Structures are given as C-alpha cells and as structure tokens.
C-alpha cells in the first residue's frame, strides 16, 4: 500500500523557556508543501534565515549533549525533542519557526509538541513518501557505544542503557515505532541528568532553564522527582532522542535500530554513516554515464525498431530518477504509416519511451540484473504537444514506489524545455526466461 507524505492543517505555537539559554522562546509549527522536508526558521534574526534538517547541517560536537543545527553563521540548538515529535507522528513536511536560538524545553519530553500537532490536525498530501531502507546491516562501534541497523520493513528501535547508579543500572526496551506507539509510550518520557553534573553544566553556561519541572534529576541514591511517568522512563527518553536524531536522514527510515549507550554526537555520526554507506552502494552499482545505445541494450531486451531511447545522461539512485534522450528523425520506421504527409510521433510510443527510461533504471539495480521490466499500467497520460522529426526528447522518469517485483513512476517528456507528454506508469518485474 502506498504511504503518502503528511503535514499539518494549520499553525500552532508553544512558548516556554529554552533548556540551556533559560530565555523565553516560542516555536510556531506551520504547514509545508510536499517534498519541503523539515526546516527551522530563526524568526528573531534579520531575513529569517532557514536551516534545513539534514545530516550536513548537524553540528557535531561531543560536549554539547544536545542536537544542534547550523548553516553559515546561524545555529539552533536542542532540536531533538521537536524533531522527535514531528517524525514520531509521521510528519514529513513542516516549518518550525523559532523566536530564539532554542525551542522551549517544556517538561523535558515531546508530549506538549505532540499534543499540539495532533490537535491542529495532521493531513495527508498527494505525494508518496520516500523511505530510506537498508538491505544489509550497518553498524558503528566506538569506546563501548554501539549503533546498528538491520533490514526490516518497519521502524523498530531497541535501546540498552548502562549507568553505574543504583536507581538506573542496566535497562533495555524495544518498540515498534508507529504514531500511536510514539504518542502513548515514547513522547511523554522526559530528559534527565545527574545531580552531580548540574553545577558543572551551569558553570559551562548550560541548563539555565533546567529544573525539576523540565527534567528528571537523579540524586546520589534515587530520583529527586516525585514520580516517574514510566518505570523505564530513562531508556524511553533515549529512544525519543534517537528518533529525533534520525530525522537528520531527511526521509523516514525503515529498519531495526539497535543502540547501546549512544548519545547525540554518536547518533549523528551513525546517521552520516548510513547515508555514506547507501550512497556508496549506489555508486558501486551505477553504470558509466552517459550510456549509449550499445550500453542500453545490456539492460533492455528491446532492439530495432523498438529501442526508443538513444542515450541515458543521468541516473540518481538516491532519488531513483533517470534522464534519457531520444532524437526523433525522419527515418523513424513508424513515420511511413503514421501521418506520412505530416509526420507525428505516435503517443503510444512516447509512453513506451518513458517506460524504457524507467526500465533502464530499474534493471540497472544489481538485484534486478537479468530480469525484464513489463509495463502493466498507465494512468493520467497526456500528450500536450505533437512531436515531429527534428525534436530531441528529454525523458525524466522518477520512481515514486518500488518493491521487489513492482514499481510506479512519474514520467515527463520535454522538447526545448517545453512539456510535451506526461504519464504515471506501473511496472512488474519478471525473470528472463
């Protein structure tokens, strides 16, 4: 079943103090268009600079004990709980406008943000989600900290903590992350600190807004707060932090994440390793470009007179997109019978050219080598302008859904920058008999 991108139906604001600055601050959640992603806006600065949520914009510094984003001279800190609220609810596109360098800490959890987002309403957009999925395990191990992800059709997070403290000790928890599970079992879990570290952190200019109302404080022998929301609230909050930091991937993740004693800086390094590994795998399987007709025939079973693309000029595996070229000449065999006095390329062949471009991309994936891609469906096909000899077709085909044995694409054809045809195509994969 296709899953579609989501945003919120209106604006909602939350005010409070920043955990580290101690200053009054307001965050306003605003709807966003499809494929916008999650982005922060520093409303307090001239020009309202924008910081996109991405691994490239993450500030990697071990001493921060928080997740910060920076772009140029602009930074925003302590974003992990807000990001967890958005991604935990399955929101793909949203603008987070903040009136200072830090969103409000609220009670130290994501609960207030989640309730506000649910109350304003989460709406479905007309664009399919694009997930990050791993096909092989990826792991990171440093000084007793561990993070791994193994293939799974859903997001699951297992976390193990290990603190030499009588009130905490060794604990673990595992959750299948859905919006409802996140809302009920993860979002209410509060951040925490040890009383012995409070004076040091304040001497460093941090946690100016910290108190028993904004965090769990762990004393020498027990918790200083009156009660916990969950018996294992500490480990649940660590899962919340992981969910927030995984937002740096830029797309929702499918996989089973296993974490041992990880923190924000380690989470960021792991996110970057996932992206680097996936990008490396894409480069390894990519054929050399541009791809001429001889190379195209290595992937497509079509031959003259039915091979309708001359060159592949771009393949982007991260976006699952291909760009191909077809030069239309007077010598095309179909012109002898299709309006020979006024040659026009048949619309069905325009659709076939789009399908062949998608077929090259699909069949160039290492797991699909030697298979055949069958065109099994066409929706929303439109021929907007006739194609005639002398035209060069630039065919752009992008997969919006892909499974082991099926795929769905959006495809367009342009001539001299003008849209001449478009369609939504469906593929089925079979073995070459």
Task: Supply the residues annotated as catalytic.
Answer: 264, 338
Pick from 40, 32, 39: which is nearest to 6 by CA? 32
| H-helix or E-strand spanning residue 363 | helix 347-364
For the chain, the first-to-last Cα distance in angstroms comes to 29
Is the backbone peptide bond immediately before 48 cis, with ω within 30 degrees of 0? no
Write the CB contacts of 33 (distance below 8 Å, at least 6 apart in sequence). 7, 93, 125
Task: Please report the beta strands in 46-93, taking only residues with DSSP state E, as ranges in sequence order.
Answer: 50-52, 58-59, 68-71, 74-76
Angle at 28 between CA 25 and CA 31, to 5 degrees: 165
| 3-state secondary structure at position 296 | helix
Return the bridge partners of 422, or none.
Answer: 382, 412
Four-point Cα dihedral 368, 370, 371, 374, nearest 10 = 110
How many Cα neighbours within 13 Å face the side chain of 283? 6
Of 194, 180, 19, 47, the C-alpha closest to 114 is 180
Q: What are phi and psi of 10, to 5 degrees?
A: -165, -170
SS3 331: coil
The residue among 258, 210, 264 whose CA lies nearest residue 241 is: 264
Torsion of Cα atoms, 365 then 368 then 373 then 376, to 10° = -100
Q: At 221, is the secondary structure helix, strand, or coil? A: coil
Report yes or no: 167 and 218 within 8 Å, Cβ to Cβ.
Answer: yes
């Amino acid at each position: 079943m296709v899953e579609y991108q989501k945003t919120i139906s209106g604006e909602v604001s939350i005010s409070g103090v920043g955990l580290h600055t101690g200053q009054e601050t307001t965050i306003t959640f605003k709807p966003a268009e499809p494929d916008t992603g999650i982005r922060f806006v520093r409303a307090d600065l001239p020009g309202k600079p924008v910081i996109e949520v991405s691994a490239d914009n993450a500030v990697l510094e071990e001493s921060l004990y928080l997740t910060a984003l920076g772009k140029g001279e602009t930074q925003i800190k302590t974003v992990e709980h807000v990001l967890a609220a958005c991604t935990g609810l399955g929101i793909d596109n949203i603008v987070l406008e903040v009136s200072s360098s830090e969103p409000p800490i609220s009670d130290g959890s994501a609960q207030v943000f989640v309730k506000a987002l649910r109350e304003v309403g989460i709406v479905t957009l007309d664009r399919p989600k694009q997930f990050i999925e791993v096909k092989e395990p990826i792991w990171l191990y440093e000084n007793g900290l561990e993070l791994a992800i193994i293939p799974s059709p859903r997001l699951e997070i297992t976390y193990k903590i290990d603190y030499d403290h009588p009130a905490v000790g060794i604990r673990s928890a595992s959750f299948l992350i859905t919006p409802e599970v996140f809302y009920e079992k993860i979002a209410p879990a509060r951040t925490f600190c040890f009383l012995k570290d409070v004076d040091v952190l304040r001497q460093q200019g941090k946690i100016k807004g910290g108190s028993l109302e904004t965090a769990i404080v762990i004393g020498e022998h027990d918790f200083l707060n009156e009660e916990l929301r969950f018996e294992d609230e500490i480990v649940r909050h660590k899962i919340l932090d992981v969910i927030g930091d995984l937002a740096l991937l830029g797309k929702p993740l499918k996989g089973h994440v296993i974490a041992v004693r990880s923190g924000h800086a380690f989470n960021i390094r792991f996110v970057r390793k996932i992206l680097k590994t996936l990008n490396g795998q894409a480069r390894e399987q990519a054929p050399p470009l541009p791809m001429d007709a001889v190379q195209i025939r290595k992937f497509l079973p079509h031959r003259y007179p039915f091979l309708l693309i001359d060159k592949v000029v771009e393949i982007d595996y991260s976006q699952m997109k291909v760009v191909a070229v077809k030069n239309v000449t007077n010598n095309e065999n179909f012109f002898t019978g299709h309006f020979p006095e006024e040659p026009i390329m048949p619309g069905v062949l325009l659709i076939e050219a789009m399908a062949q471009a998608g077929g090259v991309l699909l069949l160039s994936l290492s797991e699909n080598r030697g298979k055949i891609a069958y065109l099994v469906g066409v929706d929303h096909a439109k021929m907007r302008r006739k194609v005639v000899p002398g035209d060069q077709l630039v065919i752009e085909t992008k997969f919006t859904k892909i499974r082991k044995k099926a795929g769905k694409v959006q495809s367009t054809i342009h001539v001299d920058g003008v849209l001449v045809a478009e369609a939504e195509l469906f593929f089925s994969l079979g073995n070459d008999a």
